[in-house]
Amino acid sequence: MSQAQHITVLGATGSVGLSTLDVIARHPDRYNVFALTGFTRLAELLALCVRHTPRFAVVPTAEAARQLEDGLFTAGVDTRVLVGEGGLCEVSAHPQVDTVLAAIVGAAGLRPTLAAVEAGKKVLLANKEALVMSGALFMQAVRRSGTVLLPLDSEHNAIFQCLPGNYANGLDSVGVRRVLLTASGGPFRETPLPELEHVSPEQACAHPNWSMGRKISVDSASMMNKGLELIEACWLFDTSPSRIEVVIHPQSVIHSMVDYVDGSVLAQLGNPDMRTPIAHALAWPERIDSGVAPLNLFSVGRLDFQAPDEERFPCLRLARQAAEAGDSAPAVLNAANEVAVAAFLDRRIRFPEIASMIDEVLNLESVIAVSELETVFEVDARARALAEQWLGRHGR
Ligand code: NDP
Ligand code: MG
């Protein structure tokens, strides 16, 4: 019998999903694709099913299921198609699954990712929005089920690699002074401020170092991505926002650092390619080949660092405020940001209005305690409604 781990890839058709399948395909003896999920890119999902022959595939609607089933039948592939959020949760919690890779973008990933946590699967987390929305409940569920949660986000994966194995007792107990969260600064790091009024979605999505999905690319351009990552780091490493310093490092070679009380600073370096953190988390505590070229320090040449400019990147300040406010504030921030980014990608608002919209929604929505998941979804829905109202008044 095969000893290969059975893996569900949530968001298989996306950037992280495809990088994951690339790593998995290099190690057929270790990994077996159990389920793949997609949303709009059905032709790509079909091609992935033909290539990886999963037991299950999940699509959003019955119509999409019929389409995929027709393609699978023609190709002679015996993959069962499930539908909707119920299907996503089923393939996340299925008894035969060992590991779930959570790479759906946005709030849509929360329930299926939590289903994997609650079922005690090893969870490799890319879907930072899920943790930002529901951090306290999410981490409670992790502790309750005893699941292994490993960060795929390159910065958090780097921090994890720079921490000793026993950091779960608190960063103080292992002598950590600060966490240094690196950021490239994105495509608009040096764009003259007045020009930000006129930047296009295409410019925002043209990240200098990383190739990623459209939502996270816009988040990187506004630095909301770093804000979400700050909140993500607080939950993953059980620390406060004041212990996390954001450092702009345009080359994206250092993926983050940990500063210890004795003055040592440990960093994780590598080419900016998600296959490194994916391979690390898949094989942890072992190491496997990821397909990433060795880092050539001579061609990198130099490593630069800058403090972030909050006038240029107001989203970073808003995220830090939400992190400090705690409770429901990060869920409000996340929901308003999802609406704002979609509106910017649809050309309904200008780039600087992303921050204006989020700022107003955060001011209008009072911070409430969150003790159950339903509250998270209520907060999320209210914040989206407020953001839509803002769009009605200011959007095109
Ligand atoms: P993509 O947009 O490339 O992929 C998103 C995936 O989610 C796709 O498979 C998409 O399906 C699916 N999806 C989208 N909406 C829904 C929905 N409502 N229900 C179910 N599935 C849905 O994003 P990325 O791969 O870039 O990012 C994925 C996550 O990983 C994000 O949370 C991001 O912040 C995080 N991340 C990404 C990194 C990167 O390098 N890309 C780095 C670190 C974190 P389809 O394509 O078929 O529509
Ligand atoms: Mg990241």
Orientation angle between helical segments 353-364 and 329-345, nearest 10 degrees = 150
Ligand 1 probe mutation, 61, 88, 104, most atoms within 8 A of CB: 104
Who lines ligand 1 at CB under 6 A? 11-17, 38-41, 103-105, 108, 126-129, 153, 210, 212-213, 215-216, 274
User: What is the per-residue pLDDT across 258-306, written as a single tens digit (0 to 9) for each?
Assistant: 999 999 999 999 999 999 999 999 999 999 999 999 999 999 999 999 9
Ligand 1: distance of its center to the CA of 102 in Å? 9
pLDDT at 3: 84
Ligand (nearest to CA of 211): 1
Ligand 1: distance of its center to the CA of 109 in Å? 9
Q: Indicate if the alpha-carbon torsion angle 327, 374, 116, 125 is positive or negative.
A: negative
Q: What percent of the chain has pLDDT over 70?
A: 99
Q: Say which CATH topology domain 5-151 has.
A: Rossmann fold (3.40.50)
SS (H, E, C) 208-243: CCCCCCHHHHHHHHHCHHHHHHHHHHHHHCCCCHHH
Residue 292 identity (one-letter amino acid): V
Helix (H) or strand (E) holding 269: strand 265-269
pLDDT at 67 over 60: yes
Give the position, in ligand 1's atom list, of the atom nearest the Cα of 153: 43
pLDDT at 374 over 50: yes
pLDDT at 162: 98
Confidence of residue 81 (pLDDT cuts 50, 70, 90): very high
- The mean pLDDT value of the chain amounts to 97
pLDDT at 1: 42
Residue closest by Cα to atom 41 of ligand 1: 212
Ligand (nearest to CA of 154): 2
Spell 200-232 as b/e; 16+ CB within 10 A means b.
ebeebbebebbebbbbbbbbbbbbbbbbbbbbb
Give the position, in ligand 1's atom list, of the atom nearest the Cα of 37: 9
Ligand 1 probe mutation, 15, 59, 123, 339, most atoms within 8 A of CB: 15
| pTM recorded for the entire structure | 0.98
Confidence of residue 2 (pLDDT cuts 50, 70, 90): low
pLDDT at 175: 98
Helix (H) or strand (E) holding 63: helix 62-75
Confidence of residue 396 (pLDDT cuts 50, 70, 90): confident
pLDDT at 205: 96
Q: Which two tokens stand for residue 73?
A: 């039948």
Ligand 1 probe mutation, 23, 36, 39, 337, most atoms within 8 A of CB: 39
User: What is the per-residue pLDDT across 124-172, written as a single tens digit (0 to 9) for each?
Assistant: 999 999 999 999 999 999 999 999 999 999 999 999 999 999 999 999 9
List C-alpha distances in Å: 186 to 112, 148, 216, 224. Answer: 30, 31, 11, 11
Domain ranges of the chain: 5-151, 153-314, 326-396
Mean per-residue pLDDT, 207-216: 91
Confidence of residue 210 (pLDDT cuts 50, 70, 90): confident
Ligand 2: distance of its center to the CA of 255 in Å? 8
Residue closest by Cα to atom 23 of ligand 1: 213
Residue closest by Cα to atom 39 of ligand 1: 212
Ligand (nearest to CA of 233): 2
pLDDT at 395: 83
pLDDT at 344: 98
Give the position, in ligand 1's atom list, of the atom nearest the Cα of 228: 34
Q: What percent of the chain has pLDDT over 90?
A: 97
Q: Which CATH number fits domain 326-396: 1.10.3720.10, 1.10.1740.10, 3.40.50.2000, 3.40.50.720?
A: 1.10.1740.10
